[in-house]
């Protein structure tokens, strides 16, 4: 329900390429990134890539992506954040007047094969996704066999062997301070390691008299990535350093990666760690008052659910008709009615029009609300009650209904189906006396993990 606080179909977007991508980039995205982020994210990337290659920049609404990809908005948003997390996309947002928003999607190049295999997070997660044999085959495919250095002699000419400067009467002004488009270095995954306690990590190493020079070739990012990948705390990482150290008291990245993998295998699991999504959409800034009345809860519901989901819930889980979804799209995109207002309109028609959403009738009421500048569900509900007799007259083709005075204009504030929608069995809660630390210590004892340092 909170998707509409992040993204709406009417939000516009443009695409920017950091530099023209190549067939090699396509291979990397298809073979290396797709197992990690899924086919829907790759489809979104390729669609944005194709759109960005247009000579004139194009601006579209997100309904364009929904139609091109045949995806609802939710999978498109999930695909977008997957691309952001893996380092293939940067998203910029601009707030316009009212509720209008526009996005700039900047496509970033993928890592090359050596950088991908040398990254402990990406290489390990790829291994866990595709398995050992396909992983080794992929490494062999992109492995430099060294034929040029082993079997051949380099006889290439240098620049000075071939070219000589020619005397000219007019000097060429060299470009200075001018920005040109060029190949952008792949930034890799946006990984932040501020949560790792480096102070505890280094203090533990100093207590064991390990010289600081031993870690001069190991970046903090590498240490934090290994800690995140294998779920190791600073104390565990101290043990990993001890395992990785050679006879000269030096540690290389390769030995560090192998030591972390061995420590994980001995103390955690024989299976490689797997990548799983942990993203949750942020809650809106405005905190809802609690407890809410039934009507307040109903209005909040109408403001934060898509017309498709609302129609599905009203019909008991049945898929809504395509003609109704097309009408919702037209009202939202073409006539720029807020989603909550369209939901109220559909609710009113379902209740007062024998369960039918009639296009002409809906458009007339929508036009009336647009002329009154209705911006939210609460105002739309108020109007639907106050002007109910007028809407009945429109429905009957301009003929006033008989016994108008006796006809009630009261509309139920909260429909019966909405009041019953949450009547589900409550989830069982964890016992109040559950102690996480005690359970963790018990688990560590079962796994044979000791708090003391490895000798």
CATH code at position 83: 1.10.10
Does residue 240 lie in a domain region? yes
Binning pLDDT at 50, 70 and 90, where does residue 383 land? confident
Is pLDDT at 445 greater than 60 in this prediction?
no
- Are residues 242 and 319 part of one domain? no
Say which range, 177-186, 334-343, 368-377, has the weakest mean pLDDT. 177-186
Where is the domain boundary, 48, 79, 114? 114
Does residue 210 lie in a domain region? yes
Q: What is the mean pLDDT of residues 128-151?
A: 81
- Are residues 106 and 20 part of one domain? yes
- Are residues 257 and 206 part of one domain? yes
Q: What is the C-alpha to C-alpha distance for residues 23 and 308, in angstroms, rounded to an integer?
A: 39
- Are residues 298 and 217 part of one domain? no
Helix 62-69 / helix 73-86 crossing angle, nearest 10 deg: 100
Looking at the DSSP bridge assignments, the partners of residue 12 are 61, 102
- Tell me the CA distances in angstroms from 30 to 49, 173, 341, one per residue in order: 14, 43, 42
Is pLDDT at 93 greater than 80 in this prediction?
yes
The structural domain count of the chain equals 3
C-alpha atoms less than 13 angstroms from C-alpha of 274 in its C-beta half-sphere:
10
Question: What is the pLDDT at residue 35?
Answer: 93
Residue found under tokens 């893996």: 86
Q: What is the C-alpha to C-alpha distance for residues 10 and 48, in angstroms, rounded to an integer?
A: 17
Mean pLDDT is highest, among 118-132, 138-152, 196-210, for 118-132
pTM for this prediction: 0.53
Query: What integer best gives the mean pLDDT of the chain?
Result: 76
- Are residues 302 and 250 part of one domain? no
- Tell me the CA distances in angstroms from 284 to 2, 300, 304, 367, one per residue in order: 8, 12, 11, 30
Does residue 58 lie in a domain region? yes
Say which range, 175-184, 238-247, 263-272, 321-330, has the weakest mean pLDDT. 175-184
Where is the domain boundary, 114, 141, 161? 114
Q: Render pLDDT for 50-71 as a digit per residue (tens, 0 to 9).
A: 999 887 778 999 988 988 898 8
C-alpha atoms less than 13 angstroms from C-alpha of 371 in its C-beta half-sphere:
6
- Are residues 263 and 298 part of one domain? no
Residue 387: which residues within 8 A CB-CB, separation 6 or more?
368
Does residue 122 lie in a domain region? no
Is pLDDT at 148 greater than 70 in this prediction?
no
Tokens found for residue 142:
């992109």
- Are residues 105 and 23 part of one domain? yes
Question: What is the pLDDT at residue 41?
Answer: 94
Decide: 42 and 34 in contact? Cβ < 8 Å. Answer: yes
Give the rounded percent of residues in the chain with a pLDDT score beyond 90: 16
- Are residues 331 and 258 part of one domain? no
Q: Render pLDDT for 269-326 as a digit per residue (tens, 0 to 9).
A: 777 776 655 554 444 444 445 567 777 788 888 877 778 878 888 887 788 888 888 8
Is pLDDT at 127 greater than 80 in this prediction?
yes
Query: Within 10 Å of residue 162's Cβ, how many Cβ atoms?
Result: 7
96: preceding bond cis by omega (within 30 degrees):
no
Say which range, 2-16, 275-289, 322-336, 415-429, has the weakest mean pLDDT. 275-289
Where is the domain boundary, 251, 267, 283? 267
Q: What is the mean pLDDT of residues 151-174?
A: 70
Does residue 187 lie in a domain region? no
- Are residues 321 and 214 part of one domain? no
- Are residues 301 and 250 part of one domain? no
Question: What is the pLDDT at residue 304?
Answer: 75
Any idea of the CA torsion for 189, 190, 195, 200, to the nearest 10 degrees? 60
Does residue 273 lie in a domain region? no
Decide: 110 and 33 in contact? Cβ < 8 Å. Answer: yes
Q: What is the mean pLDDT of residues 11-21?
A: 89
Q: What is the mean pLDDT of residues 82-92?
A: 93
Say which range, 151-155, 178-182, 389-393, has the weakest mean pLDDT. 178-182
Rg (CA), the chain: 31
Does residue 192 lie in a domain region? no
- Are residues 225 and 299 part of one domain? no
Q: Count the residues in the chain.
A: 455
Enclosing domain of residue 240: 198-267
Does residue 53 lie in a domain region? yes
- Are residues 88 and 52 part of one domain? yes
């Amino acid at each position: 329900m909170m998707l509409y606080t992040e993204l709406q179909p009417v939000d516009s977007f443009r695409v920017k390429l950091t530099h023209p991508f190549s067939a090699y980039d396509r291979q990397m995205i298809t073979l290396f990134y797709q197992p990690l982020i899924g086919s829907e994210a790759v489809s979104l990337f390729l669609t944005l890539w194709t759109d960005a290659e247009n000579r004139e920049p194009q601006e579209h609404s997100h309904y364009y992506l929904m139609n091109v990809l045949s995806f609802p908005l939710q999978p498109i948003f999930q695909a977008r954040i997957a691309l952001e997390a893996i380092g293939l996309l940067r998203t910029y947002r601009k707030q316009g007047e009212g509720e209008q928003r526009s996005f700039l999607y900047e496509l970033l190049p993928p890592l090359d094969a050596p950088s991908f295999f040398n990254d402990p997070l990406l290489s390990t997660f790829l291994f866990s996704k595709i398995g050992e044999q396909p992983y080794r085959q992929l490494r062999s495919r992109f492995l430099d066999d060294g034929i040029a250095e082993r079997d051949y002699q380099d006889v290439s000419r240098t620049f000075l062997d071939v070219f000589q400067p020619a005397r000219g009467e007019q000097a060429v002004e060299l470009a200075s301070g001018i920005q040109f488009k060029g190949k952008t270095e792949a930034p890799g995954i946006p990984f932040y390691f501020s949560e790792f306690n480096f102070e505890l990590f280094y203090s533990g190493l100093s207590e064991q008299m390990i010289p600081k020079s031993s870690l001069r070739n190991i970046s903090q990012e590498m240490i934090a990535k290994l800690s995140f990948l294998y779920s190791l705390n600073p104390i565990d990482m101290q043990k990993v350093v001890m395992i990785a150290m050679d006879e000269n008291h030096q540690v290389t990245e390769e030995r560090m990666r192998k030591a972390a993998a061995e420590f994980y295998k001995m103390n955690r699991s024989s299976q490689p760690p797997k990548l799983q999504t942990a993203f949750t959409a942020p809650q809106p800034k405005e905190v809802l008052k609690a407890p809410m009345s039934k009507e307040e809860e109903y209005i909040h519901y109408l403001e934060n659910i898509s017309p498709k989901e609302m129609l599905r819930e009203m019909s008991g889980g049945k898929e809504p008709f395509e003609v109704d979804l097309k009408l919702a799209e037209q009202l939202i995109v073409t006539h720029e009615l807020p989603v909550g207002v369209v939901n109220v309109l559909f609710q009113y028609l379902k209740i007062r029009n024998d369960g039918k959403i009639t296009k002409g009738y809906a458009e007339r009421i929508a036009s009336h609300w647009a002329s009154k500048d209705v911006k939210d569900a609460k105002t739309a509900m108020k109007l639907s009650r106050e002007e109910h007799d007028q809407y009945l007259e429109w429905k009957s083709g301009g003929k006033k209904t008989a016994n108008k005075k006796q006809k009630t204009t009261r509309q139920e504030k909260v429909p019966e189906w909405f009041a019953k929608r949450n009547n589900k069995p409550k989830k069982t809660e964890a016992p109040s006396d559950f102690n996480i630390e005690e359970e963790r210590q018990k688990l560590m004892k079962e796994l044979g993990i000791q708090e003391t340092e490895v000798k």
